[in-house]
Structure formats: structure tokens, C-alpha cells
Structure 1
């Protein structure tokens, strides 16, 4: 199975309307060969519609979709050279694992013996070589997901599409399977388009994240860029749950800005800031709390113990803050007076 030649994907001026409702007003997006791009956003943002148009399950109202340089806009799904891993896995319960993986090959005209050989090769790729003769009901959720991935990969598609592939798994299993999918994609080098609403999942698996809002690209870039340099208040809050507060940029010099957060002075990357009022995204783990009073006094509204950290809601003159504090040995009780301070990392001016 060779994945040395993967196709690029391009959406050019894509518009998708359902009657009077315009789900995608004007989408322009390119995906490089061998890249794993995640479409991320809240419910109704257009990410699943975009994936379905790429798969050929929905037709765009206007525009072009290209895969590997070929215009596939009007081609049916079975001529797109893509494979899709569904949220529900869609395994046939009466077929063995090997039969499930070989199904698409046999349906496409491959004889049974070479199809079964290819299926076993696909199961080897995903670490299920010893389970070819089992039924799906005899597998765990994570193993069933890997069968679905193997079934898609044996077709050797130009692009692998994954639609909320981990949503049916529990939190611990999600972490493990997302790591397996990422390692497999990097090892084989195939192009993948991954849809999820889970920000942590997107950060973990992606070469690039495309955050969508109301059918448009709100921001696209590597995970670190979106987390550390959000382009808007929406991105700052959606990627990593930031506190967005008012501040005053008092000075900009050599790529660094000095900002006043109430009486607190802090230096942050300037980005494109100019002196004057601004918005500052403050990550929950960039907030330090200590008992007593300080330049920015506050009061603990709620405190939750989560094992390796504490989560606090804090009221200040600048508004409410959500804070994550790693030290949970001496929690600060509800109603206690505290001083709010900021770490140097985890603050970003919103330009």
C-alpha cells in the first residue's frame, strides 16, 4: 500500500445554500498533500457541510472543488477518490473484521482473495492483525474505530475524511485513539480532513486548524498559532477558553507591548498593537491567585477540586475570571479575598 502520492484539496469560491438559508457564503481553502487539516467550530458553523461537499454527499450551489488538481465538483461520491470514516463507524455486524475491511474493495470489483489479503494488510497498519476473524461486537470501541480507519485506508484514497471519529469513545480512549490516528497519518503521509467540535482534539492531531464561524473561515493556522495568537475574541474564547478583558496599551517597542490591566502592568507580544484601548486574552492557566490583597484584588466565587488542579471563578473590578491553578494542596475557599496576578506566558493581545 503506497501513500507517496497524496492529492491536494482546493475549495474555490464555494457557496452552499439550503433554500433561502446560506450555510457557506464564500469558502476559499487549500489543503496541501500529506497535511492533516481539522475543521473546527461550534454546531452549525458549516464544518460538516464542507466535509460532505468534499465527499460528494452534498453539491455546492456555486464554486469549484478540486482533488489532486482535478475538478470533482460534479462527480458522484464513488468517483471522488476519497474515503470517509463516519462517527458511527458503520461496520456490518454480521461480517468479520476482515470482511468489513475488504467490503469496499470487493464492491469495487476486486476478487475476494486479493481483497482479503489487502484487508489483512490494512489491519496490520492499524495494529489489529490478530483480530481479522472476530465480529465487530467482540471489539472495544477503540478497536472498532481502527477497523473503520483500516477499511477506508485499503481503498488507497487521495484524501481520508474523518467526521467526528472519536465522539462515541470515552475520554481516556479518545486520547489514545487520536494519538494512534495522528501517528498513522504521519507515518503513511496521507492527506486527511478531520471534523470535530472538540478543541483539545483539534490541537492534538492537526498540522493546521481551520476554525469556522457562520460558514466562513474565522482563522486558519497551526495549533500553536491559533492558541497563542488568536485573531479575534471568538477565537481566543473558542480555542482554550480564554478570559477576554479590557486593557490599555501604554507603550509599544521592539515587538513588545506594555499593557495596563487595571493597576497591573504587564508586557506581552505586541503583534500589531498601537497605544490605546485594547482587548487581552488571558488563558485560565496564566492566572495566579494568592491569599490577601494586591494590585488587582478579587474574591473567590467558586472553587472546584479536579484532582491535579483547582478551578476557580473569581470576581474582580475588571469582571469575572476563570482560573486553573495547578497547586491543589491548599485550596482557597469560596468567599475568600485573594490577589490576582498574571504569568508572562498565556496572554495575547487581540488585534
Structure 2
């Protein structure tokens, strides 16, 4: 038997948070649908963790309202909000068994020892840790400890699960494994989750929607594909997956369509921000490729080349500026100072709205 999860909606209405004269969050309005995983993403100091802590009841807004499942929780303490939080540090009690750690919140909430133990075992089964209940946290790997923290949060049957940088203490390979497990669990059980990270790849991998924050405000919100393929600003283009942001001219070509001209290249563009005149183009590193000669492209000089196993990373000096290029053609490494032609693939190019 699995926990009975009733996914709740989340709404921030004109929420503001000040620390003295410093505005950490300014007029934040955001809706999160029940049963979705929404990631708050951004650089350090952007306000994502403050937003999560206000939702958890660990920080009090200085303005606006927060609603969970349609209920105004703005003035409620953390233990009355029907949310559970998974912390960056796992926060497991080292002297307690795994089963007792998972059951701790249930026992604190008044459940009997027998019921708490039964639900703790169900929670451990959810995260693939059947038979681990008698062990101590020190006997588990970092990934297993993180799964215990998730189980402990889920057995409380919250309307919303909050995850604060949950993978930051894991190595790169384990991060990929555990993020996949969290996403599969969320999709299988259908709970609402608000996930905080500064890792763009992690956000792309786990999210239904991503809310990118900058300077205490929402810079852009949308699906991972929307943010990657249609960035609304140079900041979004460079923050979500890296991009070369270059100047171009939008011109009308023979069939009436619009295209971006840069150097000797003309590339079709579309979208709400597409109109004739000077503009900027976000070009993903793998949308560029190198050739010995390309008469309809433009030229550059290799400034650096780094072999990374399945691809080579180049920095190339061009008339458009220094471009970062990821090239899968590992059999032909271009030496530093080599003159190269640069071409552009069809995908991985987005016009940035004015």
C-alpha cells in the first residue's frame, strides 16, 4: 500500500520579501498546477531558495499571499501547511535506524508506533530500499540517504513536496541516477513538487515547467523545450544550456519569409520577435560546425581546442566575436591558430526578441 497523496496547487499572489532595505523577492506571481514538478532555477542570490522557504513557512513574506490547494497559508506556521521538505543535507538522525528516521514525522504527528513503522516500510519500498530499515544512515551511500529523505517526506502524504538542491552532495554520475529516480517517482505517484536547483541540466531533465529567476523576479517560465528553443533574453539563452549570442540583421528573403544574416550566412527565423532590422541571435554550441572551406559561411581562427572523449570543444575567433563550438567530429582535431570555415545547422538557433 502506497501513501495516499492528494496533490495540491500552489499560488503566489504578488509576494514580496524584504530583508531590511534589501528586496529579495519583488512582486512574485506564480501558479503551479497539481501533480506537476516545477523547478525554480537560477544563479546564487536570485531568490529561488527564499521563494521555497516562504512556501515551506520557514520565511514570512513581507507582502502578498501564498495559497496551497486554494487555502491561504500566508500566516500559518510550517507544521500546518501540509508540505514536506527534502533538504540539501538530508537531515537524517545519525543515531536512529533508517526505519525510525522515516517514521519520525509520523510519530511526532501522533501516529502509533505500529502504524508509523508500517508506513515507514511502505515509504522505503517506494524508493527501492526494502530491507534497509534496520541500518544506520552511516551504512548507506549518499544516494541511498537521499532516497531515505524522500521517503520520510512522502509518508507524511503532503499536498506539495519541496526539494531544496536535493542532489548537490552527490557526484555527477549519482546525480543523474537519483534525479531520474525522483522524476519517475513523481510521475508514478502524481504528487506536486517544487524543486530548487542552480543546475540547468538537472532542471531540464526533471521538470514539467521551469521558472528561471533573476534578481528576485521571474525572468522566464515555460517547459524545458520552450526555454531552450525560444529564450526571451540573452540571459535565458546563455543560462539554459549555453549559447553564443551574436548580432545579426533580420532580412526578408525571396519567398517573403524572414531570415537572419550574419557574415555570409542567411538562416530562416520565425516567432513573435521576428521583424526586419538589427537583432540578436542565440546559437547553441552544437548548432555550429567547422569546415576547411565554406563559401556561404564565415571564417574564423581556432583559439583553443579541448578533447572531451565524444566531442571536441573549440573557441574560435570570428568577426562576430569569440564563438564556443561543440564538434562531434573527434577524428579531425583542428589545431590552435588554424583558419576554419564555420557553418550553421538548421536547429539550435533562436532569435531573441527585442
TM exceeds 0.5?
yes
1:251 CA displacement: 1.5
Confirm or deny that 1:301 pairs with 2:306.
no
Q: Is the 8 A contact 1:292 1:337 kept in 2?
A: no
- Please give the secondary structure, in 2, of the residue aligned with 1:5: coil
Question: Structure 1 stretches (4+) deviating beyond 4 angstroms?
Answer: 252-256
The 1:191–1:249 alpha-carbon spacing in structure 2 relative to 1, beyond 3 Å, is: same
Partner of 2:289: 288
The 1:194–1:300 alpha-carbon spacing in structure 2 relative to 1, beyond 3 Å, is: same
Partner of 1:42: 43
The normalised TM-score by structure 2 is 0.97
Partner of 2:134: 133
Aligned residues: 351
- Please give the secondary structure, in 2, of the residue aligned with 1:130: coil
Provide the rounded CA distance (Å) in 1 between the counterparts of 2:94 and 2:131: 18
Provide the rounded CA distance (Å) in 1 between the counterparts of 2:258 and 2:43: 32
- Please give the secondary structure, in 2, of the residue aligned with 1:212: strand
Provide the rounded CA distance (Å) in 2 between the counterparts of 1:300 and 1:137: 50
Provide the rounded CA distance (Å) in 1 between the counterparts of 2:13 and 2:135: 44
Confirm or deny that 1:15 pairs with 2:9.
no
Provide the rounded CA distance (Å) in 1 between the counterparts of 2:256 and 2:160: 40
2:348 pairs, out of 337, 346, 349, with 346
RMSD, matched Cα: 1.4
- Please give the secondary structure, in 2, of the residue aligned with 1:129: coil
Provide the rounded CA distance (Å) in 2 between the counterparts of 1:326 and 1:313: 14
1:293 CA displacement: 6.0
Q: Is the 8 A contact 2:6 2:158 kept in 1?
A: no
Partner of 1:258: 259
Provide the rounded CA distance (Å) in 2 between the counterparts of 1:321 and 1:170: 30
1:220 CA displacement: 0.3
1:3 CA displacement: 4.4
Runs of at least 5 residues in structure 2 that lack an aligned partner in the other structure: none
Q: Which stretch of the first structure deviates more once superposed, 177-186 or 318-327?
A: 318-327
1:111 CA displacement: 1.0
- Please give the secondary structure, in 1, of the residue aligned with 2:315: strand
Partner of 2:336: 334
1:350 CA displacement: 0.4
The 1:132–1:252 alpha-carbon spacing in structure 2 relative to 1, beyond 3 Å, is: farther
Partner of 1:112: 113
Q: Is the 8 A contact 2:5 2:159 kept in 1?
A: no
Equivalent runs, 1:179-198 vs 2, <5 Å: 179-198=180-199
